[in-house]
Amino acid sequence: MVAATSNGRTRGGREWVPTFIATLDQSRCIGCGRCYKTCPRDVFELVEREQDDDDEDTAKVMSIADALDCIGCTACANACPKGCLTHAALPSAE
């Protein structure tokens, strides 16, 4: 089953196509948590960054915990200072 494109309208009546979380580039993530704090859903979680065996320091980065809970508002991408997040519209059911 192919998901249909989800269209909506703004309060002013303009058509709006939400774009949903697609990827999070952990290599660019600094673990600031801004995406987590601005997300109105439980889409993200903080996890330990995979480190080399030589490195004893543990760094935290964000991860996508539940992409299906994304509402397509893109607040997370707007808040991210490193541009780690990509979004995409649902494919059309043609």
Supply the CATH number for residue 77's domain. 3.30.70.20
Total domains in the fold of the chain? 1
In a domain, 43, yes or no: yes
Cross-strand partners of 64:
44
pLDDT band at 59 (very low <50, low <70, confident <90, very high): confident
Evaluate if residue 63 carries a pLDDT over 90. yes
> For 80-90, what is each residue's pLDDT tens digit?
999 999 999 98
Cross-strand partners of 87:
21
What mean pLDDT comes out for the span 32-43?
Answer: 96
In a domain, 4, yes or no: no
Tokens of 4: 């249909």
Burial class (CB in 10 A: 0-12, 13-18, 19+), 81: exposed
| Residue indicated by tokens 């673990």 | 31
